[in-house]
Structure 1
Amino acid sequence: MNLRLPSGDVRVCWQPADLPSSRCIGLWLPAILLLALTLAGCGGSASRSYGYADNPPADPTALVAWREWTRFGRSTVVYGGHAGGYVNRAGVSEHSEPLSSRVGDYWGSCGHPEWNGNTRGRPWSGAFVSWVMRQSGAGSFPVAGRHGQYLAALYDREFRGRSTAFLLHAPDEYSPKPGDLVCDGTAGPSWRHASPAMAHRRIDNTARHCDVVTDVRGGYIQAVGGNVKSSVTMSLYPIDRRGRLAPTPGKLWMLVVENRAT
């Protein structure tokens, strides 16, 4: 959109009662600067500082997820209203080619290349996370089509001291960063103080969904997940002053996976 600003100067004269008009002080209206910035947002450099013109993240895992989000048309859900230029918007459906076949690539990382975006009854959000981890170089990640399956495997590794590449935290213990996973589940963080066997079962059986964190700023976590609104979608979740997940409508936060592998 090309807009041309008027070339003439716009000034305001402020004149105290005891001064002649010839000595009025010319002041630029601050509104002129605000107007220029607003108009520049239609296509100028100002739009690059927030919202949908963000630069790709530096973290390898976050970058892979961010690129898939862009591939699917940048579907976005904002929890809590308007956030830094992001608003609710739809993306491209999993049922449309070539993206339906792209979902098949996600499933292929879990050993099911025959499934794709048009396969009924096969939620693919877990396969998406597994694919992202492998593509970003986290070869030690236990790929699985279910979130509970790979999360329980990560828990077992950590508990037995076999790996520190991924660490599980309760939502109020740790501030997520790009590349981490934020996960919700029907039992919340009740696994945290359970016995190892019980913790494994609760994680495996009650985990519902995980997203890959791509950025943290403006009071929100930006996190990308698959099979959300039939697409790859970025969700913006509010955080508290410590940077930890805040209560979110429709979410019962279960855990955060700290990614040290990438």
Structure 2
Amino acid sequence: MRRLLFPLLLAASAAACAPQPPRQAGPLPPLGPCPASTWHPEAPPPTASKKTSMVLLAVAEWFRFGQQTVDYPSNGAPQVERSGMQEGDAFASERVRDYWKSVGRPNLSGANHEVPWSAAFISWDIESAGVPRDQFCPDDRHTIYVERMVQRAREPDPAFIPRRLNERAPQVGDLICSSRAGGKTTLDNLDRGPGHCDIVVEVRARELIAIGGNVDDSVTRSVFPLDANGFLSPISARPFFTVIENRLP
């Protein structure tokens, strides 16, 4: 098992999104304002830095789920280096329910295997870090909150800026997002298709470490290759389409 090098992480001691509604012919309807919510995080953010809190919360959940780790080589199939607690386990199932609460779906838990929860995990993490809803709007679909980020980036002082893969070498706290299951979402084609995002928690010379939910049915630490310049390397298992720059303090 690779050792986490980023010191704050140790202090904290494929992927999916919610099912897609039927596609409509013609232009997609506008998203509208971020819906109000009565949900509140279960505890204060771990630190005064919202970016650091995002990372620490993700790492803490990874420990909670048993430290499952998957290595994504440049060529070949992903390799599970360590298995963790699965969504159907009693404790994990109820923890997944906590994630669902952050997107207004408390009726769901890890026992609902047919409903992927990865976007709920990211939404739970970012809201729990204290990020206001005018900067991040939680959603049970990754491509919906990414589309809102693209819109918000056109306004003053955005916290998150979606970048093209050749524009941004991922940094700790960034999100890395891919389409999935035959999806074709790109920054030029925000079609609200199936996708997945992870939070970058460590960057090394030729690889990065990211944590996401519902990766092989657990909160999972994934290892992705980087090229010599620090940009994400193309891999068939994860067709990345954006690196989301995290400008939070």
Check conservation: 1:125, 1:225, Cα contact below 8 A. Answer: yes
Alpha-carbon distance between aligned partners in 1 of 2:62 and 2:212, rounded to the nearest angstrom: 8
**TM-score normalized by structure 2?**
0.74
Q: Which has the higher contact order (CA 8 A, sep 6+)?
A: 2
Partner residue of 2:141 out of 146, 154, 162: 146
Alpha-carbon distance between aligned partners in 1 of 2:167 and 2:226, rounded to the nearest angstrom: 13
Alpha-carbon distance between aligned partners in 1 of 2:208 and 2:227, rounded to the nearest angstrom: 10
Check conservation: 1:188, 1:252, Cα contact below 8 A. Answer: no
Report the AA paired with residue 125 of structure 2.
Answer: V
Alpha-carbon distance between aligned partners in 2 of 1:188 and 1:153, rounded to the nearest angstrom: 14
Q: Larger Rg: 1 or 2?
A: 1
Displacement over 6 Å in runs of 4+: none
For residue 130 of structure 2, what is the aligned residue in structure 1? Answer: 137
**Is 2:246 the counterpart of 1:259?**
yes
**Is 2:44 the counterpart of 1:51?**
no
The alignment of Structure 1 onto Structure 2 pairs a total of residues equal to: 199
**Is 2:100 the counterpart of 1:107?**
yes
Check conservation: 2:6, 2:202, Cα contact below 8 A. Answer: no
Q: For structure 1, list consecutive stretches of 5 or more residues without a partner in the other structure.
A: 1-46
Give deviations 1:94-122, integer Å, cap 9, x for gaps: 11122211100100000111111001421
Report the AA paired with residue 110 of structure 2.
Answer: G
Classify 1:92/1:54 alpha carbon distance in 2 versus 1 (closer, same or farther; 3 Å): farther
For residue 184 of structure 2, what is the aligned residue in structure 1? Answer: 187
Give RMSD over aligned pairs: 2.3
Alpha-carbon distance between aligned partners in 2 of 1:259 and 1:214, rounded to the nearest angstrom: 12
Classify 1:87/1:218 alpha carbon distance in 2 versus 1 (closer, same or farther; 3 Å): farther
**TM-score normalized by structure 1?**
0.70
For residue 172 of structure 1, what is the aligned residue in structure 2? Answer: 166
Report the AA paired with residue 237 of structure 2.
Answer: G
Report the AA paired with residue 172 of structure 1.
Answer: N
Alpha-carbon distance between aligned partners in 1 of 2:248 and 2:205, rounded to the nearest angstrom: 26
Displacement after TM superposition at 1:170 (Å) = 0.8
Displacement after TM superposition at 1:175 (Å) = 0.9
- Three-state SS of the structure 2 residue aligned to 1:223 is strand
Displacement after TM superposition at 1:223 (Å) = 0.3
Q: For structure 2, list consecutive stretches of 5 or more residues without a partner in the other structure.
A: 12-51
Check conservation: 2:162, 2:244, Cα contact below 8 A. Answer: yes
Give deviations 1:31-57, integer Å, cap 9, x for gaps: xxxxxxxxxxxxxxxx9xx52687443
Partner residue of 2:89 out of 91, 96, 115: 96
- Three-state SS of the structure 2 residue aligned to 1:221 is strand
Taking every aligned residue pair, what percent have the same amino acid on both sides? 35
Check conservation: 1:91, 1:231, Cα contact below 8 A. Answer: yes
**Is 2:152 the counterpart of 1:157?**
yes
- Three-state SS of the structure 2 residue aligned to 1:232 is strand
Displacement after TM superposition at 1:249 (Å) = 3.1
For residue 115 of structure 2, what is the aligned residue in structure 1? Answer: 122
Alpha-carbon distance between aligned partners in 2 of 1:125 and 1:137, rounded to the nearest angstrom: 19
Alpha-carbon distance between aligned partners in 1 of 2:80 and 2:114, rounded to the nearest angstrom: 30
Check conservation: 2:176, 2:199, Cα contact below 8 A. Answer: yes
Displacement after TM superposition at 1:188 (Å) = 6.0
Displacement after TM superposition at 1:178 (Å) = 1.2
Partner residue of 1:247 out of 224, 234, 242: 234
